[in-house]
Chain A
Amino acid sequence: MLRYRFETRYRTATIMEEDALNKPTAAGADESLHTLSESPCGSLVFYVIPELSLLLPKDTDVYIGQRRTALLRVSSQVGVGRTLEQLLAQLEPRIKQVLQVMSFSHTDVSAVLSDRVRFNPDSKEGIADSMRAFKSSPGYEITFSLLNPDPTSHQLHWDIEGAVQTYIQPLLTKLSPVANFSIDSQTLYYSVLGVKPRFDSSCDAYTLNADSLAHVINPVEARLGSNAASSNPVLNFLLYVPDAHHSPLKIQDHRKQEVPSNAFHSPRWGGIMVYNVNGFYEPEAELPVDISINMAEVMGVFLAQLRLLLGVQSSPPPPGFLVAPRGSSGLADWELDRLMWSRCVENIATATTTITSLAQLLDQISNIVINDNIAEQVSSAVNSLQLAVAELEAGNLKYALQLSKEAILASEKAFFDPSLLHLLYFPDDQKFAIYIPLFLPMCVPILLSLIKMASEARQKRREKLAKKD
Chain B
Amino acid sequence: VAYLCFYSVQLSNMLAAIIMLIFICFCVHFQNTAGQFFSSGHTNNWAVLVCTSRFWFNYRHVANTLSVYRSVKRLGIPDSHIVLMLADDMACNHRNPKPATVFSHRNMELNVYGDDVEVDYRGYEVTVENFLRVLTGRLPPSTPRSKRLLSDDRSNILIYLTGHGGNGFLKFQDSEEISNVELADAFEQMWQKRRYNELLFIIDTCQGASMYERFYSPNIMALASSQVGEDSLSHQPDLAIGVHLMDRYTFYLLEFLEDIHPASKSNMNDLFKVCPKSQCVSTPGHRTDLFLRDPGSVLITDFFGSVRKVEITMEAIHLTDPILQLEDGEEVQEKTYSYVDQLPVSEIIHQKPKQKDWHPPDGFILGLWTLILLVFFKTYGIKHLKHIF
Give the contact stretch, choosing among B56-64, B267-275, B318-326. Answer: B318-326
Are A392 and B148 in contact, CB atoms less than 8 angstroms apart?
A: no
Q: Return B295 CB to nearest CB of chain A, in Å.
A: 19
Main secondary structure of the interface of A (DSSP, over half): mixed
Judge whether B330 is part of the interface by a CB distance below 8 angstroms: no
Q: Which residues of B contact A24 (CB under 8 A)?
A: none
| A418 to B129 alpha-carbon distance, docked (Å) | 11
Assess whether B323 is in contact with A12, with CB atoms less than 8 Å apart. Answer: no
Do A259 and B313 have beta carbons less than 8 Å apart?
yes
A394-B319 in contact given A231-B145, A356-B19, A421-B133 (Cβ < 8 Å): no
Bound CA–CA A354/B189 (angstroms): 10
Candidates A9, A214, A394; contact of B308 at CB < 8 Å: A214
Report if B128 contacts A (CB, 8 A): yes
Q: How large is the interface on A (under 10, 10 to 19, 20 to 34, 35 or more residues)?
A: 35 or more
> Looking at the complex, which one of B4, B80, B148 makes contact with A231 (CB distance below 8 Å)?
B148
- In the bound complex, how far is the Cα of B25 from the Cα of A132, in angstroms? 21
B318–A268 touching, CB < 8 Å: no
Main secondary structure of the interface of B (DSSP, over half): loop
Does B2 count as interface, using CB distance less than 8 angstroms? yes
* CB of B233 to closest CB in A, whole Å: 28
Contact B14 A4, beta carbon cutoff 8 Å: yes
* Contact indicator A118/B26 (Cβ below 8 Å): yes
A341 to B1, CA, bound (A): 37
Residue B89 lies at the interface, judged by CB distance under 8 Å to chain A: no
CB-defined contacts of B323 to chain A, threshold 8 Å: 159, 162-163, 165-166, 295-296
Bound-state Cα–Cα, A95 to B314, Å? 29
Q: Which of A49-101 contact B (CB under 8 A)?
A: 49-50, 72, 76, 87, 91, 95, 99
B229 within 8 A of A: no
The reply to whether B3 and A21 contact each other, CB–CB distance below 8 Å, is yes
- CB <8 Å contact, A10 and B7: yes
Chain A residues with Cβ under 8 A from B19's Cβ? Answer: 352, 356
Pair A50/B7 contact, Cβ less than 8 Å:
no
**Closest CB-CB distance, A317 to chain B, in whole Å?**
13
Residues of B within 8 A of A462 (CB): none
* B311 and A264 contacting across the interface, CB-CB below 8 Å: yes
B22 touches A349 (CB 8 A): yes
Which of B36-44, B334-342, B374-382 binds A? B36-44
A28 within 8 A of B: no
Interface residues of A in 204-242 (CB under 8 A from B): 210, 213-218, 221-222, 226-231, 233
B interface residues (Cβ-Cβ under 8 A, vs A): 1-22, 24-26, 28-30, 32, 37-38, 41, 43-44, 76-80, 128-129, 132-133, 136-140, 144-146, 148, 150, 152-154, 179, 181-182, 185, 189, 192-194, 262-263, 306-326
Add 7 more A-B contacts to A2-B14, A266-B309, A300-B317 (CB < 8 A).
A13-B5, A131-B309, A132-B311, A215-B263, A353-B192, A393-B13, A397-B11
Chain A residues packing against B (C-beta within 8 Å) = 1-13, 17-18, 21, 42-50, 72, 76, 87, 91, 95, 99, 103-104, 113, 115-121, 124, 127-128, 131-132, 135, 159, 161-163, 165-167, 210, 213-218, 221-222, 226-231, 233, 251, 253, 259-261, 263-269, 271, 273, 295-297, 299-301, 303-305, 307-308, 314, 325-326, 328, 330, 341, 345, 348-349, 352-354, 356-357, 360-361, 364-365, 389, 392-395, 397, 415-418, 420-423, 425, 427
Question: Would you list 15 pairs from A and B whose C-beta atoms are within 8 A, ordered by A residue?
Answer: A1-B18, A8-B8, A50-B3, A121-B30, A121-B32, A128-B38, A131-B309, A222-B78, A251-B312, A259-B314, A263-B313, A264-B313, A307-B317, A341-B13, A389-B16
Closest 4 CB pairs of A and B: A395-B10, A357-B192, A218-B76, A115-B153
